[in-house]
Structure 1
Amino acid sequence: MKKRVLIITYYWPPSGGSGVQRWLKFAKYLPEAGWEPVIFTPENPDFDLKDESLQKEISNELEVMKFPIWEPYQLLDRIRGKKESHPGRVLEQKEQNFVEKAAIWLRANMMIPDPRVFWVKPSVKFLTELIEKGQFQAIITTGPPHSMHLIGRDLKRKTGVFWLADFRDPWSQWEFLDKLPMQNRVRNKHKKLEQEVLQEADVVATISPTFQEDLEKLANRKIALLTNGFDSSDIPKGFSVGEKKADSLHLLYSGIIDSIRNPMPLLKAMREEFSHENADVKFTFVGRVSDQVREEIIADSWLSAHVYFAGYVSHHEVFEYYAKADALALILTNTKNAKGNIPGKLFEYMATSLPILALGDPEGDSAKILDKTGVGEILNHSDRVAIQISLRKLFERSGESEPATGIEQYSRINLSFQLAKLLDADSLS
């Protein structure tokens, strides 16, 4: 008989993005590793991105419990008379009115650790009885939103259930918090709550070696490394990338472009390198691009003629775009958390066998993975000459792409067996 683990996550299909992919895949493969997952997620969440196609990946045998949540964004929408009032998107606006500034201040100082905190108490009340009846041998909480960890903390205190806390991003050291007008007392409250989670969870896991090291310093304890990965079953049957012709280049970026992911150094380097010749080059964005970046591209006559916006497409459809690309662009953050930034998209990129040109920290965790697997390089955002040289090499390259080496360690099924070991407490004993 399989042991049952309750996975408490805010992000679940139809939510899109890497946050949902991580636990959707673990839920898919954990049964093969001896654990039966059960999902606990909001019934009426306010998602930023949606991908309805991900619903098809949920097994009919997977139990998903949905529980009502109240979020303050809905009230703010009514006050503003607009949709999409998430502070993260409002922060990207060049100008903010009084109501928007007030909303950001309230988000920073009154909703600790985040606006989903109102889900904590009712969820704990609902789940306590189920756990006390022995329905679950372990629970997992994944954040952000880090209020999910407060559910785990309270359930641990009430029932003693085995608890794994998964940090997809830092908490008190998260760069997003630095963008908020946060009072010192609130910052200290975040640190206090974070310490409670770090000390009381049976296992703490995170996605990158840098985040692992940072959390170990904060917690003074062992933190497990559990990276993101790729699922070979996501790759459509018959998928292949064509042979690249010399003297042409089609770069593709898949994912979100927001206030902390700036593609302009790469695009400007492309313009400087190729605008003086009638070169066959183009750049395609697949996903949501911030208004600020869009406007800057459209205002530039050369870029507007060579850059294309495909918009947000389903996870399955993105492979159709990969098949038409010559190389993949990866735009990492250029902020204090940049060294530990390993986006889930990196592993999917590697599985395509296309070469990767990334902007980010050349000494960071993603750079080490790319160097080890031999599929690309990461250049500093400010190293214009090196970016142009790399673009020229990609432009002149011809023939088939070399597959990545040693990427099986990042397969979702292998990672699920690693997770099972953590739940069994074998690897940290």
Structure 2
Amino acid sequence: KQSITDKFAIWIRGNFFIPDARALWINPSVKYLSKYLKENHVDAILSDGPPHTNTAIACKLSKKFNIPWLADFQDPWTQVDYYKLLKLTKWADKKHKKMEQQVFKVASKITIASPSWKKDIESIGAKNVDVIYWGYDEDDFINRKVEPSDKFVISHAGLLGFDRLPDVFFKVLHDLKNEIDGFSNNLSICLAGNIDYSVVDCIKDNKLLENTTLYGNVNREKALDLTVNSNVLLLPLNKADNAMGRIPGKLFEYIASRKPILCLGPNNGDVYKIITPLNCGQSFEYNDYNGIKKFIGKQFSEYSMKINNIKNTNLEEYSVKNQTKKIAEYLSEIIKK
């Protein structure tokens, strides 16, 4: 719950630090980099945002020096899910949108993290837009040891906030403990990262605390070890207006681990469209009790028989190597124009 101080801080941040809390970097960075660009030849500029301070800096430099610019968006700007929570005045909202439109006008090429978000920003004026996924690093999985637990491990590594509360999923686990022999004794829910109190309360309410390990924050290596040694990988998406296009970076590590993925989010969203052809998991609406229950029951049955049916081999499209290759191709294109 937000205190009055928290709400005031959000209002200050949204209305006086535009586009974000790093806004004071813009002018000094433009001044410093302008000196560099006067003395050194640069073929193209690549920026990555958020923070959209990066985007604003690149926009000013591209316009000032007439250098081709690829603007990458890992999240949208004014269409991002938390934009409505910034408590913006009409003046601040207008300034955000004016800066965003300037980016669309100046950028030679725009990339964004999902197909749905591509359509969203095109609907407000973005041109020459393509998708660049987060991707997975092949080196992360080359020599990683797979040492599965004796337990039926369902894991999630990362932030699990109130806007991703999987209440029906926990209800399913509660019911399966009472319905399937051996499920209660073998179930192990492993959660790493910051967990909202509402999620912990839901675990307690469903009598799952005895089956749950809360690791707190862990390093990347520990998170990857947890991923490859799980039986089911939980992927809850934000309950937000733009969830159709929400593709968490961990999805690609999940895919590379070749373990079953249980996604909770909108039907026919971008995650669904990725995992379905790869046959590496299923996606359900948050309230799809029967679908989630059937999926978990099937995975527990395969765990009991020591079966892993995830044998997808067509992963290369989503590797960091291939995503980086696409960026290089886009940069070459805008340099030649």
Q: Which residue of 2 aligns with 1:111?
A: 17
Distance 1:275 1:199 in 2: 59
Q: Which residue of 2 aligns with 1:364?
A: 269
The sequence identity of aligned pairs, in percent, is: 30
Shift of 1:428: 10
Distance 1:146 1:220, change over 3 A: closer
Indicate if the aligned counterparts of 2:146 and 2:229 stay in contact, CA closer than 8 A: no
Residue of 222, 225, 236 corresponding to 1:317? 222
Deviations 1:350-384 (A, max 9, x none): 11111111101121111000011110011001111
Deviations 1:50-88 (A, max 9, x none): xxxxxxxxxxxxxxxxxxxxxxxxxxxxxxxxxxxxxxx
Root mean square deviation, CA, Å: 2.1
Shift of 1:273: 2.5
Alignment partner of 1:141: what SS?
strand
Pairing 1:222–2:128 present: yes
Of 260-269 and 174-183, more deviation after overlay is shown by 260-269
Q: Which residue of 2 aligns with 1:406?
A: 314
Specify which structure has the higher proportion of helix. Answer: 2
Residue of 252, 255, 259 corresponding to 1:350? 255
Q: Which residue of 2 aligns with 1:52?
A: none
Alignment partner of 2:208: what SS?
helix
Q: Which residue of 2 aligns with 1:262?
A: 165
Q: Which residue of 1 aligns with 2:284?
A: 379
Q: Which residue of 2 aligns with 1:76?
A: none
Pairing 1:306–2:211 present: yes
Q: Which residue of 2 aligns with 1:132?
A: 38
Q: Which residue of 2 aligns with 1:271?
A: 174
Shift of 1:222: 2.0
Indicate if the aligned counterparts of 1:164 and 1:202 stay in contact, CA closer than 8 A: yes
Distance 1:306 1:137, change over 3 A: same
Distance 1:162 1:318 in 2: 38
Distance 1:227 1:324 in 2: 24
What code does the residue aligned with 1:250 have? V
Distance 1:108 1:191 in 2: 13
Indicate if the aligned counterparts of 1:241 and 1:354 stay in contact, CA closer than 8 A: no
Distance 1:125 1:254, change over 3 A: same
Distance 1:162 1:301 in 2: 55
Q: How does 1:229-268 map to 2 (within 5 A)?
A: 229-235=135-141, 237-240=143-146, 242=148, 249-268=152-171
TM-score, normalised to structure 1's length? Answer: 0.73
Q: Which residue of 2 aligns with 1:146?
A: 52
Indicate if the aligned counterparts of 1:241 and 1:325 stay in contact, CA closer than 8 A: no
Pairing 1:176–2:82 present: yes
Shift of 1:393: 0.9
Shift of 1:108: 2.1
Q: Which residue of 2 aligns with 1:332?
A: 237
Q: Which residue of 2 aligns with 1:395?
A: 300
Pairing 1:185–2:91 present: yes
What code does the residue aligned with 1:306 have? N
Of 177-186 and 196-205, more deviation after overlay is shown by 177-186
Q: Which residue of 2 aligns with 1:30?
A: none
Distance 1:263 1:301 in 2: 12
Distance 1:198 1:271, change over 3 A: same
* Structure 2, unpaired ranges of 5+: none
State the 4+ residue runs in structure 1 displaced beyond 4 angstroms: 426-429
Shift of 1:325: 1.4
Shift of 1:323: 3.8
Distance 2:144 2:60 in 1: 48
What code does the residue aligned with 1:337 have? N
Residue of 92, 99, 109 corresponding to 2:5? 99
Shift of 1:421: 0.5
Q: Which residue of 2 aligns with 1:290?
A: 196
Distance 1:100 1:402 in 2: 45
What code does the residue aligned with 2:288 have? D
Deviations 1:227-273 (A, max 9, x none): 1111110125153365x98xx63111122112432233322221123
Distance 1:400 1:178 in 2: 42
TM-score, normalised to structure 2's length? Answer: 0.92
| Residues matched between the structures, number | 331
Q: Which residue of 2 aligns with 1:423?
A: 331
* Structure 1, unpaired ranges of 5+: 1-93
Distance 2:123 2:264 in 1: 28
Indicate if the aligned counterparts of 1:227 and 1:410 stay in contact, CA closer than 8 A: yes
Indicate if the aligned counterparts of 2:73 and 2:110 stay in contact, CA closer than 8 A: yes
What code does the residue aligned with 1:189 have? K
